[in-house]
Amino acid sequence: MVFPAIQTLPSPLKTEGKLLQNTGESVDDPFHDTGMTRTGSSALGEMLTSSKVGGVLPKASLFLDPNPSPFRVGLPTNVNSWGGAAPSSAITSALNKPIQPKFSPFSTIPLVPKDSISGSARNLSDTIKQSIERSSILSNYSLDEFSQTKQWAIGISGSQTPSDLATLLGATNKGETGFIPGTYLFEFSKTKSPQEIAQILKGIHDKGGTIDFFFPLVPRQHEARFIPNDPLFPQQWHLNNTGQGGGTPNVDANVIGAWDVLDSQNRPINGLGVTIAIVDDGLQFAHPDIAPAYQASSSFDFNGNDSNPTPSTGDGHGTSAGGVAGARGNNSIGVSGVAYGAGLSGIRLIAGPANDQQEANALTYQLQSNHIYSNSWGPADTGSIKEAPGPLLLAALQNGVTTGRAGKGNIYVWAGGNGRGSLDNSNYDGYANSRYVIAVAAHRNDSNGVFSGYSEPGANLLVTAPSNGGTLGVVTTDLMGADGYNGLTDQNYTNAFGGTSSATPLVSGVIALMLQANPNLTWRDVQHILVRSAEKNDPTNTDWTTNGAGRSVNHNYGFGAVDALSAVNLAKNWVNVGSETSFTSGTQTVNAAIPDNSSTGISRTVNVSQNLKVETVEVVFDAAHTYRGDLVVTLTSPSGTISRLAEVHNDSNDNYSSWVFTTKRAWDESSLGNWTLKVADQVAQDVGTWGSWKLNIFGTGTALPVVTVAATDAVAGEPANNGQYTLTRTGSTASALTVNIAMNGTATNGADYTTILTPVNFAAGSATAVVNLNVIDDTLVEGTETAILTVLAGTGYTVGAAASATVNIADNDEGTSVTLASNYSGVSENGKTNLVYNFTRSGATTNSLTVNFTLGGTATRGNDYNAYGGNFVSPTTGNIVFASGQTTAQIEIVTTGDTVKEANETIAFTLASGTGYTIGTPGAVTTTILNDDGVLNQQGTTGNDVIEAGTTRNLSGRAGHDILIGSNASDMLVGAAGNDTITSGAGFDVIAYSLASEGQDTITDFNVFQDTLQVSAAGFGGGLIAGESIAAAQFVLGTVATTASHRFIFNKPTGQLFFDVDGNGSSVQTLLATLTPNLNLTEDNIFAA
């Protein structure tokens, strides 16, 4: 199944001839010394051989040099050979660093690990980043495919333009890919091998600043998918969801891809050689789409006690289920089953009452011929029934998994239940929660595969599968003629089937495909494969969590939606899991009252010292309670994985009597540690006592250790401050352990620090392994670089959540940092004040320095303004030169006045990378040309502006410390927030204030005979009356208010004007503005609005 935003894995490694022989040497390192030497010429041309590599490989397949230089191989000796363009400092530094010159095309280590993706590409989705990492693993391609590769996708950021970078690399820029922003298609000539290109690109990427990621565009021949010719197949969305009926495309079981896989005998995977027993109300084997698959010798009617499982009129359930699993496909009629080449047996059991003996007989009938038993039935889904198999059926199930299929075990698939509407839970069904069965939930065709409204949750669920509940039902076989569900013109088929009854045979069909791919799978192998291959449907569902083994699990879906293609591919080369081992705690007596109406409840813990790799966990639970539906029962594993075994529901029955709950949610975790069972009565009135419980854990012998890494000394630096990583493993330390790692980051392994070799070895008896990072001092100005150690997958361990750690390496080489600032944030278009951009360098200033910049904004140089200083190479790029010893350089902007009514325009300078400096903060400044034509109010920016009156007489500074310059006419000037400088000019001017706290302005030329200070009566308060000048009693000359009426205090010698909201009361006066000293200001100059 491929859900939206989840991409298909690349095809597996293909091999031709003899490739690598396992000699004990690691070839996972892209720079691993393969020990190659020339052997002369042959039919394949000049060849290379190796003591470490079996066979002979074409020279073009490897990038080798028997006399290696200490520098990068295949790089130009001068920039002219690359087209003459000057490379960025990141490229120059990367190209000049010595590295190991040999390169293996067999590397399983990604050239671009997802954690090393840089720039804006860091914001790509996890699935895209994962795909980039996969696509950069060279071993995913055959040698023939890779050697034909000419085109590479390259994510580019920084100052280097794609065209310049292409010239530097000797490539042709074919333009943007159009799918990932900033990603370009580069085509290289055949003068450089793909291995050379890969190494060059990796060198630049690892240095950082130019290439965010890269991967080869390897051409591969694809084949058309097999599509059966059954006329109703286009309606079978559960097999191939193209969006029929408004569904979500690809929300299906991903069956078509599985049908294209070939088994060991080169036959298409369709279930051939596998028989699915449909245990139900009968199977109409005369149906034309079922007859070719029918297995009479392994069918039986346990209701009628004969060998004919034909259903009664109206019992169409089993026939429809059988069609979902194995209706004959590609026969030009009707529908196709998931396993359209499998055999189908009919086991008629639920058409009438059946006892424990009959159920046991049915579920083991012909257990060597019947491989899979599909069960779309169980107790009534009311939520109040706790019904479990009888002892005979339980023993039969155990017998089936032990002796069926020649000892590999029968596969029992069971419907998880349809009682969600009644608050039922699959764990209340003793059939569906048996550890021997695969419990299946159902999800819809739409809404990204959200659960169907009836599908029960449960910690026992293993997977979910497509069924009805969305916009469409499931199209499958029906009783022939008018009997059955119908709904289609051809009444032998129906589009109205669904429930977990349909999801279950679908999973049975997928298992049949798996068993054809690998007939040696055991019943437990099948469960392991389904867990590992399931897709995360409904990805935004909040119940998704990651268990202690790193597996996503959900109470509604188990481990996710069944994916036939992934399951089949995994099955083909599956290695059987070890023998089952178990732990039991024995009965744990509690005998404690359960607090009523309390979410806290009571808890008990069992400590497990036996280290199992967990599969299924059972909890045997006893509680005396008068309304058992009040109880919430949860189990927490040592890793913190929570399994909700019982929830509040409508069940008025008494007691849990040795009820067995199961959970699959701790799958693959270690059993070591504390397992805690919590019981809470969350509803008032009815009360009870928790009597006892027992914990049973089933799995394989010993859980694999989990390996994590931490930076135990994360701060390193030149010249000799070293860093350190510590890897830690869980579980037994009795044996040594070899762990694969990769080194990435902006620092280069072997150049910025002494080479860290891979893999890392844990000594026997040690739970930790230390990796020291020894810094190499150089003379390059690099800034702080990162060295990232990542734990990779390997044999004998699993990778924990803390899979990578970073050490920062500080540089000790004095560099130059350049910053950018401007004198003002904005100036008036027709004003007399110019903008000045100030470039400042710090650090080394001995030499001259050329600093690059880019130019943007909505204003146009040469039209809206002229720039003086600096060199403008193009309309959008340029540079400025610092002379030796000079610390500042300037570009002055002179605006071009006009009378055009237009929006404010911006000028944006941004420092760009170059040679000999780093970009400091701030590195970008945007200023504004304020339009002063045809607007009622000329407003500044939120920064520090110079606003001059033109045809507009109303000026507003907004935030910032602004300069407002009025005209010779009458102006309205509003400084607003900030400490502003206001020159009103001639005319009758109004200087307005909204609040006394706006700032402390300077008014340079206030004329007491013409100008007015206008204050807001509402904003200032203090009893000011709007619409008139302030009263004489509200104005005083001096330094403080001396009466309760005083509001404005003017210190005439200094020119300071204060406001006091309560006169000589307790409030503190506020400095409003500073005017000309000894100004004859009076109350008549202040007007309240």
Residue 98 confidence (pLDDT) above 60? no
Q: Examine the pLDDT at 964 and tell me if it is beyond 50.
A: yes
Q: Could you tell me which residue, 675 or 969, shows the higher pLDDT? A: 675
Q: In CATH, which of 3.40.50.10860, 2.30.110.10, 3.40.50.300, 2.60.40.2030 is domain 814-934?
A: 2.60.40.2030
Has residue 18 got a pLDDT over 50? Answer: no
The highest-confidence range among 97-111, 172-186, 271-285, by mean pLDDT, is 271-285
- Residue spans per domain, the chain: 36-216, 233-572, 580-700, 707-744+763-809, 814-934, 950-1089
pLDDT given at position 310: 96
The rounded distance, in Å, linking the Cα atoms of 206 and 228 is: 48
Query: Is the pLDDT at 221 greater than 80, yes or no?
Result: no
The pLDDT score that the predictor gives to residue 144 is 80
Pairwise CA distance, residues 737 & 727, whole Å = 11
Residue 868 has pLDDT above 50, yes or no: yes
Residues contacting 850, CB < 8 A, separation 6+: 879, 880, 881, 882, 914, 915, 916
Q: Determine the pLDDT at residue 948.
A: 83
Is 650 a residue whose pLDDT tops 80? Answer: yes
Distance separating alpha carbons of residues 430 and 497, to the nearest angstrom: 25
pLDDT at 455: 97
Class of residue 634 by CB neighbours under 10 A (exposed 0-12, middle 13-18, buried 19+): buried
Reported as a single tens digit per residue, the pLDDT across 979-1032 is 988 888 888 989 999 999 999 999 999 999 999 999 999 999 999 999 999 999
The listed CATH number (2.60.120.260, 1.10.10.1800, 3.40.190.10, 3.30.450.20) that belongs to domain 580-700: 2.60.120.260
Q: What is the pLDDT of residue 78?
A: 34
pLDDT per residue as tens digits for the range 376-393: 999 999 988 888 888 889
Say whether pLDDT at 222 is over 80.
Answer: no
Q: Quick check: 668 pLDDT over 90? A: yes
Among positive and negative, which fits the CA dihedral 452, 456, 457, 461? negative
Q: pLDDT of 427-455, one tens digit each?
A: 999 999 999 999 999 999 999 999 999 99
Q: Which of 187-196, 772-781, 935-944 has the lowest mean pLDDT?
A: 935-944
Write the DSSP symbol of residue 915: T
| Confidence band of 844 (pLDDT split at 50, 70, 90) | confident
**pTM score, whole prediction:** 0.55
Model confidence pLDDT, tens digit, residues 684-707? 999 999 999 999 999 998 778 889
187: helix, coil or strand? Answer: strand
Cα 101 to Cα 68, 113, 734, 758, 874: the distances in Å are 6, 20, 38, 17, 39
- What pLDDT does residue 984 have? 86
Minimum mean pLDDT range among 64-68, 127-131, 899-903, 950-954: 64-68
The residues carrying an active-site annotation are 280, 317, 501
pLDDT given at position 811: 85
Rounded-to-integer distance, Cα 130 and Cα 9, Å: 10
Q: Is 701 or 793 the better-scoring residue by pLDDT?
A: 793
pLDDT of 495 above 90: yes
86 falls in which pLDDT band (50, 70, 90)? low
pLDDT-derived band at 105, boundaries 50, 70, 90:
low
Q: What is the pLDDT of residue 706?
A: 87
Give the chain's end-to-end CA distance (angstroms, integer). Answer: 71
Split at pLDDT 50, 70, 90, the class of 959 is confident
Mean pLDDT of 244-259: 96
Average pLDDT over residues 746-768: 94
Give the tokens for residue 538: 């409904």
Please tell me the CATH code under which domain 233-572 is placed: 3.40.50.200
Distance CA(519)–CA(521), nearest Å, equals 6
* pLDDT one-digit tens code per residue, 322-360: 999 999 999 999 999 999 999 999 999 999 988 889 999
pLDDT averaged over the chain? 87
What percent of the chain stands above pLDDT 70? 89
Angle, CA of 157, 158 and 164, to the nearest 5° = 85
Q: Is the pLDDT of residue 316 over 70?
A: yes
pLDDT band at 956 (very low <50, low <70, confident <90, very high): confident
Give the span between the Cα atoms of 274 and 284, in whole angstroms: 19
| Cα–Cα dist 834/869, whole Å | 13
Average pLDDT over residues 557-580: 96
Cα(159)–Cα(163) distance, rounded to whole angstroms?
11
**For position 42, what pLDDT does the model report?**
29
CA atoms of 620 and 852, how far apart (whole Å): 73
Kindly indicate the confidence band of residue 94, based on its pLDDT and cuts at 50, 70 and 90: very low
Measure Cα distances from 280 to 224, 246, 398 in Å: 37, 32, 20
Strand partners, 739: 760
